[in-house]
Structure 1
Amino acid sequence: MNGLTVIENELVPVYETSTGEKVVYGSELHEVLGVKSKFADWIKNRLNDCEAVEYEDFEAFSKNLENGGRTKEYILRLDTAKEMAMLERNEKGKQVRRYFIQVEKKFKAGKTSKKVQSVKKEKLPSVNMMVKNIKEALHDAGVDSKYIAAEVVRIYSDSGYPVNAPLISDTPKLWDCTTIAKEIGIYSESGRPHDKAVSAIIQKLDIFTDEVVRTAYSRNGHDGVTVQYKDSVFQKVVEWLQENGYPTVIELKLANGNVNKCRVVYGEVA
């Protein structure tokens, strides 16, 4: 992943993304914890235990090995890594968790003296070329022009070149499954916003094509395209819950044909 800066390296290397997010590599966490099981098995089990959401709590990507092969690596948000360390339920896990807590406290206090790298602000010609390539990719992916424009504004601003674009403020509010869950108060038993339960509800609704919007996203240094929903879909989710008596189990149909039973707890809205 590009754009990562090492900010702490006393126990587990902790990195900062170009957007200020604190993250760690899953393989490096696995090694420091001294886990005996294979990394591929351990990471999948722990992410499942944490009910981690891809692109919010972690990102997975393939990387090349020195022997010419490829392996799957994971970038974890610091909160997720902290929870995974705690789940080891041993002294090493406690040590790593305390270390992450100290890192959080240090950088919340603005103590950044141990940075061992610095990210150079990209010069305008490079930013222009990046914008050109991203605009073309988003257009080819079917992203609406106004959302492409909003992404262009974000890229220039993040690169140190603020753009005055008042028309962008007219872009309608969009919802993903996690923000819908937070707004309505749909949680998993562990207390996380239950995005999968919202996905399950949306599967059961009559959704029109123009209610679904493909937009750009940028998380943990990765850019891509995601699906979001207009306000009308949010209202349909609310109405479905009211009509069905706020069920505590909602069935989600998986791509392989299996059914996942999402257990739901309703709480205060975010």
Structure 2
Amino acid sequence: MSPGDEHDSFGGVGGSGQTRTRLPEGNSGDVYGGARRPVRSSRSLITVVGVVVLLVAAIAFANRGGGDLADAAGPTPGKTAPTAATGVRPVQGKNGTIPTGYAHDEQGAQSAASNYAVVLGSDGMFQDGSREDIVRATHDPAVADDLLKRLDASYSADFMTSVGLDANGSAPSGLTFVSRTVPVGAKVRDQTDTSATVEVWCTGLFGLAGAGSTKPVTSSWFTLTQKLTWVGGDWRISSSSQTEGPTPVNGDNRASAADEIASAVEGYGGFTYAR
């Protein structure tokens, strides 16, 4: 198994389709992507302020009642919202920094698969110590040892060099290594009392951000299929695979400069709980 093939199942680095980034057109110098927006009228400003006040009030109400917004509002009878939050509270347990202790039901399986996709596509997989912690926290103990041996062989010095890192998985001085997976949605394909197959549709970011980078950060779209096993009172991965897409049409966003991407990655922390 090649390094690219191995990492494909954890975030789309080696061979998954990467969307093309449309470069800026012209030399207008407008970093915000086009003509400036007109100044809002006083009526528009009042409307915006009103919406903000209502949102703050809703959050305060939810906090006072000890619940969240989903608990306070409740579902609308006769309607479904497959992309809305489930209303189930996030798990309280953690194995290191990884959320664990998911509900023994369909929602719990989706939550586990989504959060495992995040951490398995993170830059922590490129460090020996954190890679072992991640694999043992997310996988069935019956498969963890064998998987770690294959991953350690795959994350070789040659592979690290190919993605612009040193043998220890560190980025060159002045550059920021980016490896993030962001779940867009999830669905359970089949489930029994002891197993579940969950598909997680993801977008990913990968590359080196910073001035002079020869491996700029690019985006990709892929679907992770995780086979989960209920073991030790939690959902754990027994096997996983990845396919390309579904990939949307790239929009008209201007590509940001390398230092702007680096600043965003350092300023916006990734999520540890995805669903």
With normalisation by structure 2, the TM-score equals: 0.23
With normalisation by structure 1, the TM-score equals: 0.23
More helix by share: 1
- Where relative contact order (Cα < 8 A, 6+ residues apart) is larger, the structure is 2
